[in-house]
Structure 1
Amino acid sequence: MFSFVVEGILNGAGEVAKGPVNDTNFGYRDDIEAIEYDPEGAKELLAEAGYEDGFSTTIWTNDTQERIDVATYVQSLLADIGIDVTIQEFEWGTYIERTSNGEHDMFIFGLSLGTHDADYPMHMLFHSDNTGPPGNRTMMRDDTFDEMLYEARIEQDEETRLDMYVEAANYLNEQSPMAFLYHPNEIMGYRNEVQGFWTDASGLYQLKDITIQ
């Protein structure tokens, strides 16, 4: 279902996410157990939680059209299972401050992965030490997950470390502090005369080896 976000909102310039990282970063593997779109299962969970008639809530977003479009699409999906969502838009400074304070119900956010390693997004977005302004705006506090990240950070064997991050990604999907929707592609244009230009996984331009012929 989230393929619509990629095809309909990003015009195909991205991929559906299985977790917090994709194959441009260490810590990703194809066998990560992504959450599947299951509206009937969601209705059953709502009923079990005492919300068989649904409830009302809000989604916050900053005033970026892409995120507004994503919020609108998520709003329509949640309406299908009885959840009435109001979208609230904020300018960036206000958005950062208020989500840092945990004032939101739900919010839409992104993170550029500049280190090429799963430790960075997982630690920044979900570790207990980073709750609030440092980056953990889901306010997740989970001692088990914190320990998983610590053990993966100090592990010296690469294959074992990869297994540990796959386990951590699966744990995040099971706990569901955040729904991972998509990883966007970085799109840019340059003339044929430009050689040696590339971007890293965070979209930062790498200019040190450029030549113009």
Structure 2
Amino acid sequence: MYIRKMFTQQKFILLVAILSLVMVLQACSTGNSETGNANESEEETPKDGGTLKIVTLSDATSLDPHFITNIPSANVLYQKVYETLVTFDEDMNIVPKLAKEVEQIDDVTWQFTLNSGIKFHDGTPFNAEAVKTTFDRLLDPETGSPQRDKVSMIKEVKVVDDTTVHLILSEPYAPILSILSSQEASIISPKVINEDEDSLAKHPVGTGPFSFESWESGNAITLNKNEDYWGTPAKVDKVVFEVIPEDATRLAMIETGEAHISDNVPVSELDRIKNSDNLNLTRTEGLAVEYVGFNTQKAPFDNVELRKAVSHAIEREAIINGIYNNVGTLANVTMSPNVFGYTDKVQPYEYDINKAKDLVKKSGVNPDTEITLITSDRKERISMAEVIQSQLKGIGLKVNIQVLEYGAYIEMVDSGKHDMFIGGWGNATGDGDYNQYNLFHSDSFGSPGNHFYYSNPEVDKIIETARKEPNEEKRKELYEQAQTIEKEDAVAIPIRNYENLAVYGNNVKDFWLSPVNYLMISDATVK
């Protein structure tokens, strides 16, 4: 059974729209397009209680939202253990969450009126001081958070009273509410921050519908229902994120009912899923883009002519068709069409093997130079690496493939020791600033996202200007300028706009998969 939930990019939500929207997210039913509900015809209806088991390819790398830099880690916590002042609904509209009202006082001052009576999982009251403590920690350079630059425009967090807090910016920042809706802005227990902040890497403490129970590294993360949750309580008693590296094993566990959901779906198994009576598929247009990236500050890819040569040598259509089974669409830039700031006027280098060979000669790089291409251990990415290896052999380049477990892969690209890599950027806000600043600004080297180690003062200036430009059309023009220069500098080869997939059994209903690729499970029930 297939569902295709079409995501349409929403414009930046104005203040008046935020204040008029209801706070409770409307969860859609995960059913096929013909019946509307995947389980409504089942004799046994799922009920509240029980354990929801989610099987996933990779373990988390950290449970501290100020140090999480990848979707698999954030997925365990976002709107489950941790919550934010405002959040996204299913269509990426910004709606209230911990804050019940938002008001823009002036160009740089935002007032948040908080819900009262909320407690963190350790019993600490949620209030304006808790918000200040969280953001002060994130903004403190000594914390060393790779997420700091995402909120660096916040100059001061001012407590007005117990339920009122002001965020005062150093300058206007157009997408401020979108970044406050993302996992980086999760509100953390001030007691833990003040008494044992290092413990947050392995023991998160938030306000969400689930509280943390345990993390067996490499095996499973377990969450419990928060019986004292301030909002609508979760339906299941427990959630287990179990790490199962083998694709076939994850599918078999769903098919037999041993597990309920997997958000790592091998595209080679789509026919099997479609033809199974016990497997169902949900599909959501995503915000992420997959690409091949170069370390622009390390030989041999500090040479722009060689980067262009490789860009001309990779047949991207063959990768989409042959490896991804046409899941997702061919990307033209490193920004999804569903993200504000996307442009179709910038096109990638066309496949031209002769031009690629000429550029290799022009680069002056010795053809015998060995190049290492690193990738995580996802099956499709390994296959992509093998195709790229073969294609680059055709222009005289020798490529060695290095396959790394996901955590090791992240460490490698964060450290800047790689030559070339297969990567992806999962936009968490729906706004182009999240792509441009994190991927291409020179302040974002390493873990914040700039694994290209790309530095161009002109691009930096454009990105900084776009951040504070209130006019949407002018912001779009600025992002188009930046993407044009990035293309000319051959920083990355865009491959695929993501389509998020999750496979689930007949024994679960009422979850949804967000465009960011988060599983939203507060209303999920199992039988």
The within-5 A match list for 1:101-120 is 101-120=415-434
CA contact (8 A) 2:374 2:421 kept: yes
Residue-by-residue CA offset, 1:153-184 (whole Å, 9 max, x unaligned): 11111111111112211211111122111112
2:457 is the counterpart of 1:139: no
Secondary structure of 2:500's counterpart equals coil
The one of 487, 493, 507 equivalent to 1:173 is 487
C-alpha contact (below 8 Å) 1:148/1:164 kept by paired residues: yes
Match of 1:75 in 2: 389
The 5-angstrom pairing of residues 57-206 of structure 1 reads 57-188=371-502, 198-206=512-520
Name the SS of the counterpart of 2:426 in structure 1: coil
Distance 1:43 1:134, change over 3 A: same
CA RMSD of aligned residues (A): 2.3
**2:329 is equivalent to residue 10 of structure 1:** no
Deviations 1:59-109 (A, max 9, x none): 011211111111111111111111110101111222211221111111111
Q: CA deviation at 1:210?
A: 8.3
- Contact (CA 8 Å) 2:502, 2:513: kept in 1 or not? no
Number of residue pairs aligned between Structure 1 and Structure 2 = 210
| Corresponding position of 2:335 | 21
CA drift at 1:207:
5.6
TM-score (norm: length of structure 1): 0.88
Change (3 A) 1:209 1:161: farther
CA deviations 1:17-46 (Å, max 9, x no partner) are 111112111111222232222221111111
Once the two structures are TM-superposed, the CA of residue 188 in structure 1 deviates from its matched residue by 3.3
| More divergent stretch after superposition (92-101 vs 49-58) | 49-58
In structure 1, distance between residues paired with 2:348 and 2:483: 9
Distance 1:189 1:144 in 2: 44
Counterpart contact for 2:348–2:493, Cα < 8 Å? no
CA distance in 2 between counterparts of 1:89 and 1:209 reads 37
Q: Which amino acid aligns with 1:85?
A: V
Question: Is contact 1:57-1:85 (8 Å) kept?
Answer: yes
Instruction: Give the conservation status (yes or no) of the 8 Å contact 2:367–2:398.
Output: no
Give the greater-gyration-radius structure (CA): 2
Q: Point out the structure with the larger helix share.
A: 1
Q: For the Cα contact (< 8 Å) 1:25–1:117, is it kept in 2?
A: yes
Q: Is the 8 A contact 1:23 1:29 kept in 2?
A: yes
Counterpart residue identity of residue 116, structure 1: G
Aligned counterpart, 2:41 = none
Contact residue 18 and residue 35 of structure 1 kept, 8 A? no
Between the aligned partners of 2:338 and 2:523, the Cα distance in structure 1 is: 21
Structure 2: gaps (5+ residues): 1-314
Alignment-mate amino acid for residue 458 of structure 2: T
Partner of 1:30: 344
- Determine helix, strand or coil for the equivalent of 2:343: coil
Greater RCO structure (CA 8 Å; 6+ sep): 1
Query: Which amino acid counterpart does residue 187 of structure 1 have in structure 2?
Result: L
For 1:87, the aligned partner's letter is I
Contact kept? 1:43, 1:52, Cα under 8 Å: no
